Amino acid sequence: MRGLLKTAVEYLKKKGAEYGDVRFERVTTESIQVRDGVIEGHSTDSSSGIGIRVVFRGAWGFASTHMTTEKDALKAADQALAVAAACSSVNRTRVALAETALHVDAYATPFRIDPFSVSPEEKTGRLIEVTTEASRYKDIAVCEAFMAFSRVDKEFVSTEGAEITQSLLTSGCGYHVIAENGHDAQTRSYPDSHHGLFSTKGYELIDELDMMGSLERVTGEARALLNAKECAAGTIDVIIDGPQMALQIHESCGHPAELDRALGSEISFAGGSFLTTDRMGAYRYGSGHVNLYADPNHPGGAGSYKYDDEGVRTKRVDIVKEGVFTDYLSSREGALVIGARSNGAMRAEGWNRLPIVRMSNICIEPGEVTLSDLIADTKNGLLLSTNRSWSIDDLRLNFQFGTEIAYEIRNGKLGRIFKNPVYSGITPDFWASCDAVCSKEDWRMWGLNSCAKGEPVQVIGVGHGASPARFRGVSVGVLKTRGER
């Protein structure tokens, strides 16, 4: 394949492209879904093709094909050039790219057990066991469990001379139970909602997550929620647990830190960002306890990779340092606009999509206090756990998130549980109210495989290293009383 990619690159040069890159990807996936011991779906997919991106006459063009002969690749190259030429006739500015080091390298995700070598019986057997066992508990109407694996083998060659091979392996699993009593239905998930936890690891992840070991607690909480009171509306201190912190970071830090949003490229779909370029380096994003960073090199993150899809070597980036907004997730084109170099955030969902700025692993630095000490230090509050709903405005300011469960904290001790908790806020005010982040022992890398962005929509895996954190005076609940009008 390398020869074909080089041929296409030479063709782009001959045609006068100012820049070009050719990317081949083979994506292999397997997913299994089991409900109450019944296999709802067990499928594999294999997809491969070539994507060709050019800057020609000062404009971008892209074309892709699933047919990987030289003839088809060169046809795609011509299509990409034609798109760029058409756009160039209208655009008033010319595309320019920040310089980047050129690499000839290979990288592969480290793993112990190749999930694609594990038998279908073993995989389905685990999910059947979890879901069958769960359905034995009273009031558990449904237990649905998931496993998914993907391997992306990609080759990247550019007109500038980069030649990079990467093989990225991702595994994930999880389950949820729904307790139901005819009037109400309550869900608890493990280890996270959104189909579980995803990680650039092998099948060893499935053992690490020990789904069976969590079953008694998870089913018990779902059942208990049926008889729990609604979370009352008001203003209260909250501790947000790890998986919900992951979502909070994702929506209120990761997305607004995407430079393409700040520069207006996504204004018609995903939206813009309150983190405008004039605020970089000075804007007070949160309290001094808040340190947020991107690290694509963190082992095991769902957004871990060595090179992005522009061939840029990734590095750790401080997005928020001691509460101050310091940097973006960037592309080569965007980085030049802010006088910087790309930090390697350009990723495509697959060979047939343009790379766009994406989160990698966006994490919060752990603090000093343990979760148990933080609870003990909270007089009157709520511990909110596991995301259930999410909504935020197009500048990433006004948010409202729901969680599966709230645990009351009274005089430093966990008490009753409440159902249907919701909290809301304005991003910088909310992060300014953060007065403690839990320590390393409560920190883990969470992973989602469902971050969507762009048109056509591209869905990609992202990691979020997080530990629980406390926020003072947060608005919770939306309905004052049930049925109130």
Partner 1 sequence: MLLKEKILEEAGDIIRSARADSVEAVVRRESASTLRFAASSFHQGGKDTDCAVYVRALIGRKIGVSSTNSLEADGLKDCLKRALRIAEHTGREPFDFRLPGPSEYRPVESWFERTATVTEREKVDILAESFKRARASGVSQSGTLTTAEGEVAVVNSKGVSAYHPYTTARLSVVSTKGAASGHDSALGKDFSRIDIPGVMSRSVDDCLLAASPTHLEPGAYRVIFAPHAVSELLEWLSYTGFGSKNFHEGTSFLSGRLGEKVTGGLVNIHDDALDPSGMAMPFDMEGVPKRRLSIIEKGVARGVAYDSFTGAMEGARTTGHAGFPDEPEGPFPEHLFMEGGVMGLDEMMERLDRGIFVKSFHYVNGLLNPKEGLMTGMTRHGTFLVEGGKIKRAVNPMRFTDNIVKAFERIEGLSKDARVFWHHGSALSSIRAPYLLIDSFRFTS
Contact set for partner 1, span 121-140 (CB under 8 A): 121, 124-125, 128
Closest CB to partner 1 among 298 and 353?
A: 353
Among 354, 370, 377, 414, binds partner 1 (CB under 8 A): 354
Q: Determine the Cα–Cα distance for residues 447 and 363; give it in Å rounded to an integer.
A: 11
Residue ranges in 28-87 that form contacts with partner 1 under rule CB under 8 A = 31, 33-34, 37-49, 59-67, 76, 79-80, 82-87
Closest CB to partner 1 among 47 and 214?
A: 47
Nearest-approach distance from CB 208 to partner 1, in angstroms: 23
Closest CB to partner 1 among 106 and 267?
A: 267
Closest CB to partner 1 among 325 and 423?
A: 423
Q: Determine the Cα–Cα distance for residues 322 and 286; give it in Å rounded to an integer.
A: 8
**Taking a C-beta distance cutoff of 8 angstroms, is the pair 111, 204 a contact?**
yes
Asked whether position 279 contacts partner 1 by CB under 8 A, the answer is no
Q: Determine the Cα–Cα distance for residues 239 and 470; give it in Å rounded to an integer.
A: 4
Q: Closest by alpha carbon to 464, among 438, 445, 439, 451? A: 445
Closest CB to partner 1 among 224 and 397?
A: 397
Closest CB to partner 1 among 323 and 447?
A: 447
Closest CB to partner 1 among 114 and 441?
A: 114
Q: Closest by alpha carbon to 355, among 18, 8, 51? A: 51
Asked whether position 393 contacts partner 1 by CB under 8 A, the answer is yes
Nearest-approach distance from CB 31 to partner 1, in angstroms: 7
Beta strand 234-240 with 380-392: parallel, antiparallel or unpaired? parallel
Q: Determine the Cα–Cα distance for residues 229 and 406; give it in Å rounded to an integer.
A: 10
Instruction: State the Cα torsion 209-215-217-222 to the nearest 10°.
Output: 120
Q: What DSSP assignment string belongs to 210-267?
A: -HHHHHHHHHHHHHHHHTSEEPPPEEEEEEE-HHHHHHHHIIIIITTTBHHHHTTTTT
Q: Binding marks (x or -) toward partner 1, 209..248, rule CB under 8 A? A: ----------------------------------------
Residue ranges in 412-451 that form contacts with partner 1 under rule CB under 8 A = 420, 422, 424
Asked whether position 142 contacts partner 1 by CB under 8 A, the answer is yes
Residue ranges in 175-194 that form contacts with partner 1 under rule CB under 8 A = 178, 180, 182, 184-185, 187
Cβ neighbours for 89, distance < 8 A, ≥ 6 positions apart: none
Size of the site for partner 1 (CB under 8 A): 84
> Angle at CA 420, nearest 5°, toward 415 and 424?
100
Other C-beta atoms closer than 10 Å to the C-beta of 58 total 15
Closest CB to partner 1 among 20 and 366?
A: 20
Nearest-approach distance from CB 248 to partner 1, in angstroms: 15
In 3-state terms, what secondary structure has residue 393? coil
Nearest-approach distance from CB 64 to partner 1, in angstroms: 5
